[in-house]
Amino acid sequence: MNVKTAPSAQPEAPTSTTPSRETTEPWLWAAARDTPLTEDDHPWSGKWLWFTPLSLLDASWTTIRAATEDGLLGYRSKAATLINTRTKSDDTRRPICVYTRDWRDIDDVQRVLTNLRALGIVDVLLYKTDSDTLRGRYGTGASTFVAPATKLKLVIPKRTREALEHHYAARAQTRRAATARRKAPVPKRT
């Protein structure tokens, strides 16, 4: 797998703000300006997942953290530290997650993907909703979107297409009902 980080992502001196040196927390977090790290998840939030090789973890996190804080990516991001392990996980990689507020906002999901590619990330990227994570959906079939290696194109799996179609149909029905209510004659009071 070909992995590249942006040229500006020079490894920083090991500190507790680098995932390879953090020994007390499973995640390191970054947030866009005016977004508190303690902000609750949004009901439709999701994240791009990049499973980063350990050898590039610190430099990759430096790049993602800076881009998040500069407002180029989603509203927040996080990197798994070396103490963050799951059963059946690959010990040679750790996830870096870049969050968006609404997975149904395809334009924003695409914007973040485009900026991740512009940062030099060429690996396969997976997008997953936070609700799927909370439900324990992991592995094959859990991704809401997929971005093949080096590609800017979103691959939308069948279950995601169906969910989006349902969402758009419900929105259209709500708009039609609101329009009908506005056009309905107002009964006269006597």
- 73-95 confidence digits (pLDDT tens): 999 999 999 887 765 667 889 99
- 164-175 confidence digits (pLDDT tens): 676 667 767 777
Listed in sequence order, the residues at least 6 apart from 164 whose beta carbon sits closer than 8 Å to its beta carbon are 104, 106, 156
Q: Provide the whole-model pTM.
A: 0.76
State the pairing for strand pair 27-31/76-80: antiparallel
| Percent residues over pLDDT 90 in the chain | 48
CA–CA–CA angle 51, 4, 112 (5° rounding): 65
